[in-house]
Chain A
């Protein structure tokens, strides 16, 4: 049955320390650690493009799992920072990886909800076309659109990429998904003239109001209760936002880790980076994932160990 088999991760080595920017933004250590929850953000090499990060994540996946590239039948890239407006970045990744010509490639334009949408889409696409092996890549390096003087964004977002192997030899299969959009809030998190703008209060309100209800709905349609879920892997926006969701759903923090402290909010890569750390832990059987952000958009899913 089609599902998630493995995940490769690339987080660039370069880090920008938020401690070094305390004076610039009048910050206390406690605010950085307890509220933002992000002490450092990862930054890609300035010459690297989105496709380069994607290739590095793929190489990590390949190194861990000895992938046979000739068997890859589809490649999907989730990004809103493509190398070019056209062609699609997945075609460039296809070229750089020298994948076979019978490999379908397309991009998905979504932000922090992108991994959940991408997982649902690639599974359906593969099932509908009798495919056995596909790769879902997330790569959205925000460093190229961040104004380093903008406190609302520069302290939060970090660069990363992931590559998820989707195959019939899966470790996890997925249950029912839930998706939603508050399009009226599209301008609250937006890139205009190559610069990211975020209305932090609007995004916080959106997350606090929409995400807990969507998780409750997700649990209900999958006939689950909070107690029966082993891990909740939420998009890692900031510690404050993360704690708000946990508090409103009354979820124990041990079940829902916050992991972005040393690399930042990596947009659509945040869920697979954290998921990868739990893939081989056989004590974890049921995982809830939920991404939310740009759009404003959200998506949730359930992964069940086979």
Chain B
């Protein structure tokens, strides 16, 4: 496992402690052979209907900011990822999660 992201190890420890999120984390850890792909994250982003004005088409390799995702919508994206995968993304990791590709790499690292 490559720890490319600062705080990734701490993230796993936090996951163990997170009550409601534990079952999701365990489930995804149990399916570690199933790798998360860009389409999973793009579908998740498209499913967000809270308040976000997210672009209709998301390119995996381009940064979210380049595609018009502002700082508040990015917070919403990270929250939905946390809720879906039962994880807590530490602040130190967030700056590097600026594109779908980077989010996918991060998730496959920590799950």
Residues 65-107 of B, flagged 1 when their CB comes within 8 A of A and 0 if not, give 0000011100110110010000000010010000000000000
| Binary flags per residue of A183-215, CB closer than 8 Å to B gives 1, else 0 | 000000000000000011110110011000000
Question: Which stretch (A41-49, A142-150, A163-171, A241-249) binds chain B?
Answer: A241-249
Q: Is the CB of A201 within 8 A of B75?
A: yes
Q: Which residues of B contact A306 (CB under 8 A)?
A: none
Number of interface residues of B (CB under 8 A): 14
Inter-subunit contact A200/B51 (CB<8 Å): no
Chain A residues in 8 Å Cβ range of B53? 34
Q: Which of A201, A202, A209, A243 sits near B51, CB closer than 8 Å?
A: A243
Query: Could you tell me the distance between the alpha carbons of A202 and B51 in the complex, rounded to whole angstroms?
Result: 17
Note all chain A residues with C-beta closer than 8 A to B76. Answer: 204, 244
Contact A201 B94 (CB under 8 A): yes
Complex interface: chain A residues within 8 A of B57 (CB): none
Chain A residues lying within 8 Å of B51, measured Cβ to Cβ, are 240, 243-244, 247
Q: Is the interface of A mostly helix, strand, loop or mixed?
A: helix
> Separation in Å of the A182 CB from the closest CB of chain B?
12
Cα–Cα, bound, A201→B93 (Å) = 13
Q: Contacts A35-B70, A240-B72 given: A205-B50 contact, CB under 8 Å? A: no
- Tell me the bound Cα distance from A293 to B72 in angstroms: 17
Shortest beta-carbon distance from B23 to chain A in Å: 16
User: Does A31 make an interface contact (CB < 8 A)?
Assistant: yes
Which bracket fits the contact residues of A? 10 to 19
Partner of A243, one of B50, B71, B79, B94: B50
**Chain B residues, CB < 8 A from A199:** 91
Residues of the B chain whose Cβ atoms lie less than 8 Å from the Cβ of A35: 70, 72
Contact with B along A235-261 (1 / 0, CB 8 A): 000001001100110000000000000
B70 and A247 contacting across the interface, CB-CB below 8 Å: no
Complex Cα spacing A35 to B68, Å: 13
Specify which chain A residues have a CB less than 8 angstroms from the CB of B91 in the assembled complex.
199, 201-202
Q: How far is the CB of A212 from chain B (nearest CB, A)?
A: 11
**Inter-subunit contact A204/B79 (CB<8 Å):** yes
How distant is the Cα of A35 from the Cα of B76 in the complex, in angstroms?
12
Interface residues of B (CB under 8 A from A): 49-51, 53, 70-72, 75-76, 78-79, 82, 91, 94
When A and B form their complex, which 7 residue pairs have the shortest distance between CB atoms, in order from nearest? A243-B51, A247-B50, A240-B72, A204-B75, A201-B75, A35-B72, A244-B50
